[in-house]
Amino acid sequence: MNLELSEEQAAVRRLAEDFVAREVTPYAAAWDRAESVDRSIVKKLGALGFLGLTVPEEYGGSGGDHLAYCLVTEELGRGDSSVRGIVSVSLGLVAKTVAHWGSEEQKRAWLPRLTSGEALGCFGLTEPGTGSDAGNLATRAVRDGGDYVINGSKMFITNGTWADLVLLFARTNDTPGHRGVSAFLVPADAPGLSRRPIHGKLGLRGQATAEVVLQDVRVPASALLGPEGKGFSIAMSALAKGRMSVAAGCVGIARAALDAAVGYAGQREQFGRSIAHYQLVQELISDISVDVDAARLLTWRVADLIDRGEEFATAASKAKLFASEAAVRAANNALQVYGGYGYIDEYPVGKLARDARVMTLYEGTSQIQKLIIGRAETGVSAF
Ligand SMILES: Cc1cc2nc3c(=O)[nH]c(=O)nc-3n(C[C@H](O)[C@H](O)[C@H](O)COP(=O)(O)OP(=O)(O)OC[C@H]3O[C@@H](n4cnc5c(N)ncnc54)[C@H](O)[C@@H]3O)c2cc1C
């Protein structure tokens, strides 16, 4: 694995850095307070190609490899995790999945719109009654002539109220567990589909999170993504790559925490000199710095494995597990460096800590990542 960036990778990172400095960082605190990112950001992300990375150019994508995708995701995560999540879900979980599993017609219908930012995608797997045990989902899609009729409810859906397309997972037969699950591309304006915004989140407040309810939603059989009964494999393959993207976003959070802690420690004086002189403060900063490097290396390894066509799912779980826990530690350490000022939202570290906290929960909790890694090591499934 070559750790030196190519010219293209370095250029895409600079583009993302500039974009974040101009269009994200100055507004992130206000978006957090308003509980909404400015929606115009979606078109801007699309215009720069950030919603089309790794998607083939013939479908409107901007090409690039998975390391370039990680670089952009890290920069966005450093600026605002709510913005990073828009890309990780609409591109990482939805567009990339359509590109991999979709028919020619589905790819032509959705990918140019998703990659340009004209349309946004959301990923509907979790339900009120099933989170970690996603294979037991209850939403049903019943065949009716040339259509499917879908009933059920999806919980905590990122981009939920903004999305134009729902990549939806529903049960198409009575086989218990994950074997009866199929994937569908459901337009969000389909009659019978409604969205309830979820407010009051601890972090990621700028993000449009929703419960998506489906009451007799009728879609043609051509909305089925991949073979019937393959939905759970499709969801798991999307999430394995998605975990790399979450991990890269976590590296961004940890870097933001490092920058903030170093800056503050250098200018805050106590006992007659800057607190950066105190070894216990240096320890907090040193721990963040090591976490940044370790999390980034684990994440880049996943990108390298994917780009070389190697098996990557366990490496993605390791990266996601480590980077998400590292982001929580890093933000917490930075908050400690700020002392009491870290606890008020005039300073950036409180938001970092709140945004980091969800990373150990979604796209598979830390406990679930440990079970995946344990299964890979022992050959025994604890699920
Ligand atoms: C802000 C936010 C955005 C989200 N976005 C999306 C989205 O876009 N699409 C989507 O489909 N979902 C989304 N989710 C849902 C998320 O993926 C789930 O919350 C997550 O998978 C955990 O499910 P749960 O909340 O039902 O917790 P549960 O599964 O009920 O878990 C509760 C606790 O039990 C533990 N646990 C469960 N099973 C085991 C086990 N076998 N062994 C050990 N411990 C176990 C868990 O680790 C956890 O600590 C989002 C969630 C949040 C908070």
Q: pLDDT (tens digit, 9 = 90+) per residue, 286-345?
A: 999 999 999 999 999 999 999 999 999 999 999 999 999 999 999 999 999 999 999 999
Q: Are residues 11 and 110 in the same domain?
A: yes
Reply yes or no on whether the pLDDT at 176 is more than 90: no
Domain containing residue 258: CATH number: 1.20.140.10
What's the confidence (pLDDT) of residue 177? 83
What is the rounded average pLDDT for all residues in the chain? 97
Band of pLDDT at residue 107, cut at 50, 70 and 90:
very high
Phi, psi of 138 (to 5 degrees): -110, -15
User: In ligand 1, which atom is closest to the CA atom of 122?
Assistant: 8
User: In ligand 1, which atom is closest to the CA atom of 160?
Assistant: 8
| Residue carrying the six token digits 């591109």 | 91
What's the confidence (pLDDT) of residue 178? 87
Measured by CA distance, the residue closest to atom 35 of ligand 1 is: 367
Tell me whether residue 21 is in a domain.
Answer: yes
Band of pLDDT at residue 1, cut at 50, 70 and 90:
confident
What's the confidence (pLDDT) of residue 316? 98
Q: Are residues 315 and 347 in the same domain?
A: yes
Dist. CA 104 → ligand 1 center (Å): 33
Q: Domain boundary residue among 229, 245, 270?
A: 229
Measured by CA distance, the residue closest to atom 26 of ligand 1 is: 131
Is there an atom of ligand 1 within 6 Å of 123 CB? yes
Is there an atom of ligand 1 within 6 Å of 198 CB? no
Q: Are residues 311 and 357 in the same domain?
A: yes
Band of pLDDT at residue 175, cut at 50, 70 and 90:
confident
Residue span of the structural domain in which 11 resides? 7-120
Which residues pair with residue 169 across a beta bridge? 183
- Told to judge if 363 belongs to the known catalytic residues of this protein, a careful annotator would answer yes
* 3-class state of residue 63 by DSSP: strand
- 119-149 in b/e form (b: 16+ CB < 10 A) is bbbbbbbbbeeebeebbebebbbeeeeebbb
What's the confidence (pLDDT) of residue 161? 97
Dist. CA 96 → ligand 1 center (Å): 22
Dist. CA 253 → ligand 1 center (Å): 21
Dist. CA 201 → ligand 1 center (Å): 15
Tell me whether residue 100 is in a domain.
Answer: yes
What's the confidence (pLDDT) of residue 250? 98
Mean pLDDT of 167-182: 92
Reply yes or no on whether the pLDDT at 21 is more than 90: yes
Question: In one letter, which amino acid is 163?
Answer: A
Pocket test for ligand 1, best of 132, 137, 239 (most atoms within 8 A of CB): 132
pTM for this model (two decimals): 0.97
pLDDT > 70: percent of the chain? 100
Q: Are residues 254 and 346 in the same domain?
A: yes
Q: Specify the number of domains making up the chain.
A: 3
Q: Are residues 185 and 240 in the same domain?
A: no
Dist. CA 108 → ligand 1 center (Å): 33
Per residue in 206-238, pLDDT (tens digit) is 999 999 999 999 999 999 999 999 999 999 999
Per residue in 58-101, pLDDT (tens digit) is 999 999 999 999 999 999 999 999 999 999 999 999 999 999 99
Is there an atom of ligand 1 within 6 Å of 136 CB? no
CA 182 remoteness from chain centre: 22
Pocket test for ligand 1, best of 130, 156, 211 (most atoms within 8 A of CB): 156
Per residue in 362-374, pLDDT (tens digit) is 999 999 999 999 9
Q: Which of 23, 75, 127, 363 is catalytic?
A: 363
What's the confidence (pLDDT) of residue 119? 98
| Residue carrying the six token digits 């309830």 | 196
Q: Are residues 214 and 254 in the same domain?
A: no
| CA neighbor of 101 nearest in space, from 185, 187, 171, 177 | 185
